[in-house]
Amino acid sequence: MSLHGIVRRIWRPVNREQAGYYLELMLLSFAASVGATRLLLEITGYPSLATGELHIAHVLWGGLLLFASALMPVLFANRWVYTAAALGAGVGAGLFMDEVGKFITQSNDYFYPAAAPIVYAFFLLTVLLYTEIRRPRPRDARTELYMALEGLEEVLDRDLNAAERSALETRLHRVINTAEEADAVQLARHLLDYMHSDAVQVAEDSPGWFERLTRWWQAWEARWWTRSRARAALIGGLGGLALLGLWESLPAWSALGKPEWVKAVLAPIVMTGRIGGPRALVWYEARLVLEAVVALVLAAGAVALLLRREITGIALGLLGVMLSLTVVDLMVFYFEQFSTMLVAGMQFAVLIGLHRYRQRFLRRRRWVDAE
C-alpha cells in the first residue's frame, strides 16, 4: 500500500458504536434545556443577574458547559465520560442557542422573531444528523477492530457480560476472516485467544436504569400495543393534528375573496411592534394556507388508516408530519415564538409512532395495502 493510501486509512473517520445513543442524549438535553429556560424565564418575569455594568447572561453558563463537555473526553478515557459529555453538551448548546436573538441583532433583541426559527432549525439539523448516524452501514475489518478495542473497556471495568463477550468475539472473528493486513489479523487472533482464556471474568447481567426502562417498554409494547390499538392511536394523533391545523387556518378560509381580511386578521400581529411590514403579512398568509394544506394531508392519512389502507395512510401521515415539522413549524415559530413547542413535541411523537408502526407491522408488506 502506498503512503497516500496509509495516510488516507488513518484519517478516515470511524463511527463510535454508541454514537447514536450519545447523540440522542444531546438532542433530548438540548430540547429540555431550551424549553426549561424559556418556561423558567416566563414564570419569573425574565430576571437578570446584573450589578452595575455587569450582566451575567445564561449564554455564559452555556459556553462554560460546552467547554467542560469538550474537555472531559480529552482528559478522561472512561466510557461514562461520553454520557456526561453528551448531556453537558446538549444543555450547554441549549443555553447558548437560546440567546441567538442577541447575537444576530444590533439591538441585542432577545425576543427577535427569527430567533425561535433559528433554534428550531438547528434542532432539526441535529435530528437529521442523528438519523444519518443511526443508518446501518457495512463495516470493514478496520471498523470492526476499532469497535472490538472499544469493547475491551468492559473487560477493564469488570463489567463484561455474556452478551457483550459474544458480540466482541464475533467482531474479532470478522476481522480475522476479512482483514487484508496481516498485523490486524494477528492482533485479532491474540485478542480472541485472550477472550477464550480463564483470565476474562464475565459479570452478571446487571442492566442500568436506561436498559431496564427499554426492556420494560419493549415488553409492554409487545403485550399491550397491538396492531389495532396502535392504528387507533395513530388515527387519533393524525386526526387531532389535522383539526388543530384547520382551526389555526380558519381565518384564511373564512376570508377568501375578502380583501379586507388583511386588516381584520393580521393587523393585531403587526401592532405588537415586533413583527411588521408587508413581507410579514405575506408570510403569515402563506403560513395559514400551508397549515390548511398540510392539515388536509394529515386528515387523508387518518381516513386511509381508518379504512385499513395502511401503506397509504402511513405514507400520507409521514408526508404531512414531515411537512409540519420542517416547513410549517418554522413559520409558526416566527410568529408565535416558543409557545408552539408543545405542538412540535406532539408532532414528533406522532412521527415516532408512524415509523414504529411501519417497522413492526408493515415491514413484510411494504408495497401491498393491508386487507
Given a contact cutoff of 8 angstroms between Cβ atoms, the answer to whether 66 and 86 are in contact is no
- Report pLDDT digits (tens) over 10-52: 667 777 888 888 888 898 898 888 888 887 877 887 777 656 6
The alpha carbon of 180 is separated from its chain's Cα centroid by a whole number of angstroms, namely 37
Q: How high is the pLDDT of residue 86? A: 93
Residue spans per domain, the chain: 3-134, 141-196, 223-361
Evaluate if residue 345 carries a pLDDT over 50.
Answer: yes
Across the range 303-310, mean pLDDT stands at: 93
What is the pTM assigned to this prediction?
Answer: 0.72
Which comes out higher in pLDDT, residue 309 or 336?
A: 309
> Which of 18, 143, 31, 129 has its CA nearest to residue 81?
18
- State yes or no: pLDDT of 370 exceeds 60: no
For residues 13 and 300, what is the distance between their CA atoms, to the nearest angstrom?
44
For 182-198, the pLDDT digits (tens) are 888 999 999 999 888 88
Strand stretches in the chain, DSSP E: 49-51, 54-56
By mean pLDDT, which of 192-196, 275-279, 281-285 is the weakest? 275-279
| Cell numbers describing residue 118 | 433559528
CB 349 within 8 A of CB 237: yes
Give the model confidence (pLDDT) of 58-100 as tens digits: 888 899 999 999 999 999 988 889 999 999 999 999 888 888 8
- Highest mean pLDDT of the ranges 148-152, 215-219, 362-366: 148-152
pLDDT of residue 221: 78
pLDDT for residue 139 is more than 70: yes
List the one residue out of 29, 32, 26, 39 whose CA is nearest residue 337. 39
What pLDDT is recorded for position 201? Answer: 82
CA distance 291 to 296: 9
- DSSP 8-state symbol, 262: I
Assign residue 131 a region: left if phi > 0, alpha if psi is -120 to 50, beta otherwise?
Answer: alpha
205-249 pLDDT, tens digit per residue, is 666 676 777 778 778 878 888 889 999 999 999 999 999 888 877
